[in-house]
Chain A
Amino acid sequence: MPGAIYAEGLVKHFGDVKALDGVDLDVPEGTVLGLLGPNGAGKTTTVRCLTTLLRPDRGTAIVAGIDVLKHPDAVRRSVGLSGQFAAVDEYLTGRENLQMVGQLYQMRGKAAKARAAELLEQFHLTDAADRPTKTYSGGMRRRLDLAAALVVRPPVMFMDEPTTGLDPRNRQQLWDVIKQLVSSGTTLLLTTQYLEEADHLAHDICVVDHGRVIARGTSDQLKAQTGGERVEIVVRDRAHMAAAAEVLRGFGKGDTTVEEHTRKLTVPVTGGAKLLAEVIRELDSRGIQMDDVGLRRPTLDDVFLSLTGHVAEENADESGEDPQDPKSHRKHTKEPAQ
């Protein structure tokens, strides 16, 4: 039996551009699928096809048990969509926006009103409820947009880059909201170009590039495909680099990478924390001082790089950037022609 979101062989052309080139997806009920890929990979087009906004040229799509191409209106009743741009009316208040969406979901006026109040409360927007959303911050608008997608408590949710452009605090807040949502049983398809975000929220990940799914699995499975862990050290004194490299070679399972300008050395290892301790003791006994030392597991950045041969984002200069720093995950351009 297909999952809550199921797609087979989705193909979509925009003129000569093949935006989707046979996308297959299967998301079991109550789970989160992260659709991961760079700009223009086809993430947004996939979401638009699954939410009835675009008609695929070929392929099958079934959402919440309903054939998307045959019964688009029935699908619309069962899904919530939160888009890449916070789609709320800026001249309407938060409350008016939610009431309008409720009414357009065919709720009665009174029910729409009650539901709007409930959502404003849940998303901590009650204080701002009666202000035009023009005055909202970016994070507040995103929350309102998400609330609008949840008006009818849809069993299936689609979020297209929900945290793009948000600062770390707002991103964390939105993640918490999404986690709560999922814990209550909603099936979610989430697109992101933040590898960290997929790692954080998704049960399964599909990596897309050039309109095709090029890898799928859990975060751990994908990382295992890329290779194991590495020891990474930064020596204090440049003069010690050669000696440090010699030590690492003794423990490593592969080539040692040396970066002169950052005084950083990296070597693939097996043996985890125990081995790391041995490395540190050995370096210490030779009097090599370190600024930093650590056991590094592959991030999804590494996964992406090894799968596609390019990093997940343009202008991301090296995959070794601190993956915990969301500022290094800025979005640079919009997906074209969508």
Chain B
Amino acid sequence: MSAVHDAAPVAARTNPVSQLVRDSLVIAHRNLIRMARIPEMLVFGLLQPIMFVVLFTYVFGGSVQVGASTSKEAYREFLMAGIFAQTVTFATAGAGAGIADDMHKGLIDRFRSLPMARGAVLTGRTIADLVQTALTLVVLAVVAVIVGWRTHENFGKVLAGFGLLLLFGYAFSWIGALIGLSVRTPEAATSGGLIWLFPLTFISNAFVDANKMPTFLRHIAEWNPFSATVQACRELFGNLPPGFRTPGAWPMQHPVWASLIWSAAIILLFRTLAVRKYRSATA
């Protein structure tokens, strides 16, 4: 404990952007270490979508009409983009629970007392969640291929589809960050992060052909940001069922653009709100 004063406090860094990047990576690294030490989180995060793939494929396959087809094969190909998109939105719950846990344990206080970039704790968390989402998607795609899913477009387009999914998942983790900062316990963040995802993902084109919904629901489904990403992926994967009539709504006609715009808008809005909330957060 000798000579507490022999080193002056560290001098200010000048460039705020490079500080944000650097601090965010430190936090992302920390969250990735945690992830590796709690592998059960990753495993359970994988089990649910795998179960969905298997259940939907074998239980619903052959009895759901998509486009003009009721064949098992057509539904299987139709389904996967929906499951992938639903899976990436579950990042919301992960980010929310993680941040709520940090609040609860006093870590957010610690971080807020440090001379670090204000947005870094949340940005680091969302980056780590993005890595986890990517891992999950890889495993899920392998399972999908095993049960018979195939793409019918070139590799570049398929990759672009996964890119859209990752961006969409990243946007949703910012919603999770805001939820995590707003609730009192990690448990509340988990359920608060999941509960609204079910109507969001079910009133969409993810699991059924939205053309066959009642008019009111059909309009919601067509403008649902979630549907845009699913539709974009189906196009990019070449998974639109035979005889499928693309709805006239703008996001369905231009799903890639719609998905990009939605993701950007969500990130912009929720990042702003979450970082503002972080500044005033109290445990």
Q: Is B142 close to A, CB under 8 A?
A: no
Q: Is A106 close to B, CB under 8 A?
A: yes
Question: Is the contact region of chain A dominated by helix, strand, or loop, or is it mixed?
Answer: loop
CA–CA, A101 and B115, complex, Å: 10
Beta-carbon contact of B7 and A153 below 8 Å: yes
Q: Of A176-184, A203-211, A240-248, A299-307, which binds chain B? A: A176-184
Q: Of B49-57, B105-113, B255-263, which binds chain A? A: B105-113
CA–CA, A184 and B12, complex, Å: 25
| One of A48, A86, A87, A148 near B282 (C-beta < 8 A) | A48
Q: Is A277 close to B, CB under 8 A?
A: no
Beta-carbon contact of A87 and B107 below 8 Å: yes
Contact flags (1/0) for B28-50 with A, using CB distance below 8 Å? 01100110011000000000000
Can you identify 19 A-B contacts, CB atoms within 8 angstroms? A54-B282, A76-B115, A81-B110, A83-B109, A84-B106, A85-B105, A87-B110, A89-B30, A92-B33, A100-B26, A100-B29, A105-B116, A106-B19, A148-B110, A152-B9, A153-B7, A180-B1, A184-B1, A184-B4
Contact flags (1/0) for A104-127 with B, using CB distance below 8 Å? 111100000000000000100000
Q: Which residues of the partner chain B approach A79 to less than 8 Å between Cβ atoms?
A: 113
| One of A90, A92, A106, A132 near B115 (C-beta < 8 A) | A106
Q: Is B114 close to A, CB under 8 A?
A: yes
CA–CA, A107 and B116, complex, Å: 11
For residue B260, give the distance in angstroms from its CB to the closest CB of chain A: 33
Interface size class of A (residues with CB under 8 A): 35 or more
Beta-carbon contact of B5 and A105 below 8 Å: no
Beta-carbon contact of A155 and B9 below 8 Å: yes
Q: Is A273 close to B, CB under 8 A?
A: no
Smallest CB gap from B118: residue in A? A73
CA–CA, A48 and B23, complex, Å: 23
Q: Which residues of the partner chain A approach B116 to less than 8 Å between Cβ atoms?
A: 104-106
For residue B184, give the distance in angstroms from its CB to the closest CB of chain A: 12
For residue B91, give the distance in angstroms from its CB to the closest CB of chain A: 19
B-side residues, CB < 8 A to A, are: 1-7, 9-10, 12-13, 19, 22-23, 26, 29-30, 33-34, 37-38, 105-107, 109-116, 120, 280, 282-283
Q: Which residues of the partner chain B approach A83 to less than 8 Å between Cβ atoms?
A: 106, 109-110
Question: Is the contact region of chain B dominated by helix, strand, or loop, or is it mixed?
Answer: loop
Q: Which residues of the partner chain B approach A154 to less than 8 Å between Cβ atoms?
A: 9
Beta-carbon contact of B112 and A52 below 8 Å: yes
Beta-carbon contact of A91 and B38 below 8 Å: yes
Contact flags (1/0) for A67-108 with B, using CB distance below 8 Å? 000000110111101011111111110001000110111110
Beta-carbon contact of A87 and B109 below 8 Å: yes
CA–CA, A92 and B110, complex, Å: 15
| One of A87, A132, A152 near B37 (C-beta < 8 A) | A132
Beta-carbon contact of B2 and A184 below 8 Å: yes
Inter-chain residue pair count (beta carbon < 8 A): 110
Beta-carbon contact of A96 and B33 below 8 Å: yes
Beta-carbon contact of B282 and A181 below 8 Å: no
CA–CA, A77 and B114, complex, Å: 7
For residue B16, give the distance in angstroms from its CB to the closest CB of chain A: 10
Beta-carbon contact of B7 and A152 below 8 Å: yes
CA–CA, A107 and B19, complex, Å: 11
Beta-carbon contact of B113 and A153 below 8 Å: no
Beta-carbon contact of A91 and B282 below 8 Å: no
Beta-carbon contact of A184 and B13 below 8 Å: no
Beta-carbon contact of B10 and A185 below 8 Å: no
CA–CA, A84 and B107, complex, Å: 11
Q: Which residues of the partner chain B approach A77 to less than 8 Å between Cβ atoms?
A: 9-10, 12, 115
Beta-carbon contact of B113 and A52 below 8 Å: yes
Q: Which residues of the partner chain A approach B109 to less than 8 Å between Cβ atoms?
A: 53, 81, 83, 87
Smallest CB gap from A132: residue in B? B37
CA–CA, A278 and B114, complex, Å: 60
Q: Which residues of the partner chain A approach B4 to less than 8 Å between Cβ atoms?
A: 150, 153, 155, 181, 184-186
Q: Which residues of the partner chain A approach B38 to less than 8 Å between Cβ atoms?
A: 91
Q: Which residues of the partner chain B approach A132 to less than 8 Å between Cβ atoms?
A: 37
For residue B22, give the distance in angstroms from its CB to the closest CB of chain A: 8
When A91-B33, A92-B30 are in contact, do A104 and B114 touch as well, CB less than 8 Å?
yes
Smallest CB gap from B281: residue in A? A53
Instruction: Report, nearest first, the 10 A-B pairs whose CB atoms are least far apart.
Output: A87-B106, A180-B1, A76-B115, A87-B110, A85-B106, A184-B4, A81-B113, A77-B115, A104-B116, A91-B34
CA–CA, A100 and B33, complex, Å: 12
Beta-carbon contact of A101 and B114 below 8 Å: yes
| One of B37, B105, B112 near A53 (C-beta < 8 A) | B112
Q: Is A338 close to B, CB under 8 A?
A: yes
Beta-carbon contact of A103 and B37 below 8 Å: no
CA–CA, A305 and B34, complex, Å: 47
For residue A67, give the distance in angstroms from its CB to the closest CB of chain B: 15
Give the interface centre of B12, B13, B37, B114 by most chain A CB atoms within 10 Å.
B114
When A52-B113, A91-B34 are in contact, do A105 and B1 touch as well, CB less than 8 Å?
no
| One of B10, B22, B105 near A152 (C-beta < 8 A) | B10
